[in-house]
Chains A and B, each alone.
Chain A
Protein backbone atom coordinates (compact mmCIF):
# COMPACT_ATOMS: atom_id res chain seq x y z
CA UNK A 1 0.00 0.00 0.00
CA UNK A 2 1.47 3.36 -1.09
CA UNK A 3 1.29 6.16 1.44
CA UNK A 4 0.54 9.84 0.87
CA UNK A 5 3.26 11.61 -1.09
CA UNK A 6 3.79 15.33 -1.64
CA UNK A 7 5.97 17.38 -3.95
CA UNK A 8 8.10 19.36 -3.84
CA UNK A 9 9.56 18.90 -0.35
CA UNK A 10 10.80 22.48 -0.13
CA UNK A 11 10.09 25.63 -2.11
CA UNK A 12 11.22 29.26 -1.98
CA UNK A 13 9.12 31.98 -3.60
CA UNK A 14 8.89 35.75 -3.46
CA UNK A 15 5.92 37.90 -2.54
CA UNK A 16 3.32 38.18 -5.29
CA UNK A 17 4.32 34.94 -7.01
CA UNK A 18 2.08 31.94 -7.47
CA UNK A 19 2.79 28.38 -6.28
CA UNK A 20 1.38 24.92 -6.98
CA UNK A 21 1.82 22.06 -4.50
CA UNK A 22 1.00 18.45 -5.34
CA UNK A 23 -0.30 15.48 -3.41
CA UNK A 24 -0.88 11.84 -4.28
CA UNK A 25 -3.39 10.15 -2.03
CA UNK A 26 -2.96 6.78 -0.39
CA UNK A 27 -4.11 3.86 -2.51
CA UNK A 28 -7.89 3.41 -2.22
CA UNK A 29 -8.58 6.87 -0.78
CA UNK A 30 -10.85 9.26 -2.68
CA UNK A 31 -10.73 12.27 -0.36
CA UNK A 32 -7.89 14.75 0.03
CA UNK A 33 -7.66 17.47 2.68
CA UNK A 34 -5.11 20.28 2.79
CA UNK A 35 -3.78 21.92 5.95
CA UNK A 36 -1.44 24.84 6.63
CA UNK A 37 0.92 24.51 9.58
CA UNK A 38 2.71 27.70 10.60
CA UNK A 39 5.87 27.35 12.66
CA UNK A 40 5.09 26.35 16.24
CA UNK A 41 1.38 25.84 15.63
CA UNK A 42 -1.01 23.05 14.90
CA UNK A 43 -2.25 22.41 11.36
CA UNK A 44 -5.16 24.59 10.14
CA UNK A 45 -7.72 23.15 7.74
CA UNK A 46 -7.70 24.83 4.30
CA UNK A 47 -10.14 22.74 2.22
CA UNK A 48 -11.13 19.22 1.28
CA UNK A 49 -11.76 17.58 -2.09
CA UNK A 50 -14.02 14.59 -2.63
CA UNK A 51 -14.66 13.09 -6.06
CA UNK A 52 -13.04 16.09 -7.77
CA UNK A 53 -15.21 18.71 -6.02
CA UNK A 54 -14.51 21.01 -3.08
CA UNK A 55 -16.28 19.46 -0.11
CA UNK A 56 -15.56 22.02 2.57
CA UNK A 57 -13.39 25.05 3.20
CA UNK A 58 -11.75 26.61 6.23
CA UNK A 59 -11.09 30.29 6.88
CA UNK A 60 -8.71 30.92 3.97
CA UNK A 61 -9.06 33.57 1.24
CA UNK A 62 -9.98 32.73 -2.39
CA UNK A 63 -6.37 33.02 -3.51
CA UNK A 64 -6.03 29.55 -2.00
CA UNK A 65 -7.57 27.18 -4.53
CA UNK A 66 -7.36 23.52 -5.35
CA UNK A 67 -8.06 20.73 -7.75
CA UNK A 68 -8.61 17.00 -7.52
CA UNK A 69 -8.00 14.74 -10.48
CA UNK A 70 -9.77 11.50 -11.53
CA UNK A 71 -6.96 9.46 -9.93
CA UNK A 72 -7.72 11.37 -6.65
CA UNK A 73 -4.41 13.20 -6.62
CA UNK A 74 -4.71 16.87 -5.78
CA UNK A 75 -3.11 20.29 -6.20
CA UNK A 76 -3.08 23.30 -3.91
CA UNK A 77 -2.57 26.63 -5.66
CA UNK A 78 -1.78 29.87 -3.89
CA UNK A 79 -1.82 33.14 -5.83
CA UNK A 80 -0.34 36.50 -4.87
CA UNK A 81 1.88 34.98 -2.19
CA UNK A 82 2.29 36.89 1.08
CA UNK A 83 5.03 36.56 3.68
CA UNK A 84 2.54 34.96 6.11
CA UNK A 85 1.97 32.13 3.64
CA UNK A 86 5.34 30.71 4.73
CA UNK A 87 4.42 27.41 6.36
CA UNK A 88 4.40 23.63 6.07
CA UNK A 89 1.54 22.55 3.81
CA UNK A 90 0.18 19.13 4.65
CA UNK A 91 -1.99 16.89 2.56
CA UNK A 92 -4.08 14.13 4.12
CA UNK A 93 -6.05 11.41 2.38
CA UNK A 94 -8.98 9.41 3.63
CA UNK A 95 -11.94 7.35 2.54
CA UNK A 96 -15.17 8.77 3.99
CA UNK A 97 -17.13 6.41 6.21
CA UNK A 98 -19.96 8.83 6.94
CA UNK A 99 -19.10 8.64 10.61
CA UNK A 100 -16.54 9.93 13.06
CA UNK A 101 -14.23 6.92 12.71
CA UNK A 102 -12.75 8.00 9.38
CA UNK A 103 -8.95 8.26 9.62
CA UNK A 104 -6.86 10.81 7.75
CA UNK A 105 -3.33 9.84 6.74
CA UNK A 106 -0.86 12.68 6.31
CA UNK A 107 1.96 13.17 3.84
CA UNK A 108 5.35 14.59 4.86
CA UNK A 109 4.39 18.10 3.76
CA UNK A 110 5.84 20.81 1.54
CA UNK A 111 7.74 23.56 3.31
CA UNK A 112 7.10 26.90 1.60
CA UNK A 113 9.19 29.96 2.31
CA UNK A 114 8.02 33.31 0.95
CA UNK A 115 10.63 36.07 0.84
Chain B
Protein backbone atom coordinates (compact mmCIF):
# COMPACT_ATOMS: atom_id res chain seq x y z
CA UNK B 1 0.00 0.00 0.00
CA UNK B 2 0.92 3.64 -0.16
CA UNK B 3 3.13 4.77 2.70
CA UNK B 4 4.38 8.13 3.83
CA UNK B 5 7.55 8.15 5.91
CA UNK B 6 7.83 11.04 8.33
CA UNK B 7 10.88 12.18 10.24
CA UNK B 8 11.83 12.83 12.88
CA UNK B 9 9.40 10.83 15.01
CA UNK B 10 9.70 13.31 17.84
CA UNK B 11 11.42 16.61 18.66
CA UNK B 12 11.99 18.34 21.98
CA UNK B 13 13.03 21.95 21.44
CA UNK B 14 13.43 25.21 23.28
CA UNK B 15 10.86 27.95 22.80
CA UNK B 16 12.01 30.33 20.08
CA UNK B 17 13.85 27.70 18.04
CA UNK B 18 12.99 26.85 14.47
CA UNK B 19 11.66 23.38 13.61
CA UNK B 20 11.92 21.35 10.43
CA UNK B 21 10.24 18.05 9.62
CA UNK B 22 9.78 16.13 6.40
CA UNK B 23 7.81 13.44 4.70
CA UNK B 24 8.82 11.13 1.85
CA UNK B 25 7.06 8.58 -0.29
CA UNK B 26 7.97 5.97 -2.88
CA UNK B 27 4.88 7.04 -4.85
CA UNK B 28 4.09 10.29 -6.63
CA UNK B 29 1.31 12.41 -5.18
CA UNK B 30 -0.34 15.48 -6.69
CA UNK B 31 -1.28 17.02 -3.36
CA UNK B 32 0.52 17.21 -0.03
CA UNK B 33 -1.25 18.22 3.17
CA UNK B 34 0.05 19.03 6.64
CA UNK B 35 -2.19 18.49 9.67
CA UNK B 36 -1.72 19.16 13.38
CA UNK B 37 -3.36 17.05 16.06
CA UNK B 38 -3.62 18.13 19.68
CA UNK B 39 -4.60 15.83 22.57
CA UNK B 40 -8.28 14.90 22.51
CA UNK B 41 -8.81 16.43 19.08
CA UNK B 42 -8.93 15.33 15.49
CA UNK B 43 -6.33 16.51 12.94
CA UNK B 44 -6.67 20.11 11.76
CA UNK B 45 -5.45 21.14 8.31
CA UNK B 46 -2.56 23.63 8.45
CA UNK B 47 -1.30 23.89 4.89
CA UNK B 48 -2.26 22.36 1.54
CA UNK B 49 0.17 22.11 -1.40
CA UNK B 50 -1.12 21.45 -4.91
CA UNK B 51 1.81 22.07 -7.25
CA UNK B 52 5.31 20.56 -7.41
CA UNK B 53 7.86 23.09 -6.18
CA UNK B 54 5.19 25.19 -4.46
CA UNK B 55 6.22 26.99 -1.25
CA UNK B 56 3.31 28.08 0.94
CA UNK B 57 3.22 29.91 4.27
CA UNK B 58 0.62 30.13 7.00
CA UNK B 59 1.88 32.52 9.67
CA UNK B 60 5.04 31.02 11.17
CA UNK B 61 4.54 27.81 9.20
CA UNK B 62 6.08 27.22 5.78
CA UNK B 63 5.70 24.06 3.71
CA UNK B 64 7.12 23.01 0.35
CA UNK B 65 5.95 20.45 -2.20
CA UNK B 66 9.01 18.60 -3.47
CA UNK B 67 9.86 18.91 -7.14
CA UNK B 68 9.83 15.10 -7.57
CA UNK B 69 6.30 15.02 -6.05
CA UNK B 70 7.57 12.36 -3.64
CA UNK B 71 8.34 14.56 -0.65
CA UNK B 72 7.39 17.62 1.35
CA UNK B 73 8.74 19.49 4.33
CA UNK B 74 7.21 21.69 7.02
CA UNK B 75 9.09 24.40 8.89
CA UNK B 76 7.94 26.24 11.99
CA UNK B 77 9.80 29.40 12.86
CA UNK B 78 10.24 30.85 16.37
CA UNK B 79 8.34 28.05 18.10
CA UNK B 80 5.99 28.81 20.99
CA UNK B 81 4.46 26.48 23.61
CA UNK B 82 1.14 26.23 21.75
CA UNK B 83 2.97 24.60 18.81
CA UNK B 84 3.02 21.41 20.89
CA UNK B 85 1.22 18.57 19.18
CA UNK B 86 1.63 15.87 16.55
CA UNK B 87 2.19 16.98 12.97
CA UNK B 88 1.10 14.68 10.16
CA UNK B 89 1.71 14.78 6.46
CA UNK B 90 -1.08 13.32 4.34
CA UNK B 91 -1.80 12.78 0.67
CA UNK B 92 -5.17 12.18 -0.98
CA UNK B 93 -5.69 9.26 -3.34
CA UNK B 94 -8.58 7.60 -5.13
CA UNK B 95 -9.15 3.88 -4.84
CA UNK B 96 -11.02 3.61 -8.10
CA UNK B 97 -11.33 5.69 -11.25
CA UNK B 98 -14.35 7.94 -11.02
CA UNK B 99 -14.40 7.92 -7.21
CA UNK B 100 -16.55 10.72 -5.90
CA UNK B 101 -14.13 11.64 -3.14
CA UNK B 102 -10.55 11.26 -2.08
CA UNK B 103 -9.20 9.13 0.74
CA UNK B 104 -6.19 10.23 2.76
CA UNK B 105 -3.00 8.32 3.52
CA UNK B 106 -1.09 9.67 6.51
CA UNK B 107 2.50 9.58 7.70
CA UNK B 108 3.33 8.31 11.16
CA UNK B 109 3.55 11.80 12.63
CA UNK B 110 6.17 14.01 14.26
CA UNK B 111 5.56 14.71 17.94
CA UNK B 112 6.71 18.22 18.83
CA UNK B 113 7.41 19.23 22.41
CA UNK B 114 8.39 22.82 23.25
CA UNK B 115 10.15 23.78 26.46
CA UNK B 116 9.24 27.30 27.65
Contact = CB atoms under 8 A, between A and B. Distances in A.
Interface of A: 4, 31, 33, 35, 40-45, 48, 50-51, 55-59, 90, 92, 94, 96, 98, 100-109
A12 B94 CA distance: 33
A42 B106 contact: yes
A96 B101 contact: yes
Contacts of A58: 103
The main secondary structure of chain A at its interface with chain B is loop
Contacts, number: 81
The main secondary structure of chain B at its interface with chain A is loop
Contacts of B92: 100, 102
A101 B91 CA distance: 11
Interface in B88-105: 88, 90, 92, 94-96, 99-105
Interface in B48-68: 48, 50
A51 B101 CA distance: 11
Q: How large is the interface on B (under 10, 10 to 19, 20 to 34, 35 or more residues)?
A: 20 to 34
B42 A108 contact: yes
Contacts of B31: 100-101
Contact of A56 (B41, B44, B95): B95
A104 B43 CA distance: 10
Given A100-B50, A103-B45, A59 B104 contact: no
28 contacts: A31-B101, A42-B6, A42-B88, A42-B107, A43-B88, A44-B106, A45-B104, A45-B105, A50-B100, A51-B100, A55-B99, A55-B100, A56-B94, A56-B101, A56-B103, A57-B95, A59-B1, A92-B42, A100-B31, A100-B92, A102-B92, A102-B101, A103-B45, A103-B48, A104-B104, A105-B45, A106-B44, A109-B41
